[in-house]
Amino acid sequence: MTDPIPPAATNPPASAQAPEPERRKGPLSYLSGALTAGLLAWLCLGLSRRLALYYALHPPHYASAIAQSIATALKTLIVGMAFLATFSFAFIALGLSLVLVRSLVTGPTPAGDSDGRAA
């Protein structure tokens, strides 16, 4: 009888296989990313405004100075993080919009050019 061929002998190792060419992102990908980031920025802006308004109308009142200080610090952190998320998403949307415009104006790049610059 013959011995069965082990599976490792039939398939070449992954390093011996030819690597697949990297797929380039297209304008549709930039557009969907910019719209998603813009929507998240708009939602975060609404949340940030509501948080700032709520904390402005309901200031903390504690008898202890330490408790008052902790409540004020926590309020500042919460409002600050909400506005940080707002502007982070807004700048991501702006950047992706600029990349979208650049990709539409310059057109496709040659396949061998990996960094997008002309030689």
Q: Are 46 and 85 in contact (CB under 8 A)?
A: no
**Cα–Cα distance, 86 to 39 (Å, whole number):** 10
Kindly report, residue by residue over 46-91, the tens digit of the pLDDT: 999 999 999 999 988 889 999 999 999 999 999 999 999 999 999 9
Question: pTM for this one?
Answer: 0.69
**Cα–Cα distance, 32 to 54 (Å, whole number):** 33
Cα 44 from chain centroid (whole Å): 14
Kindly report, residue by residue over 59-69, the tens digit of the pLDDT: 888 899 999 99
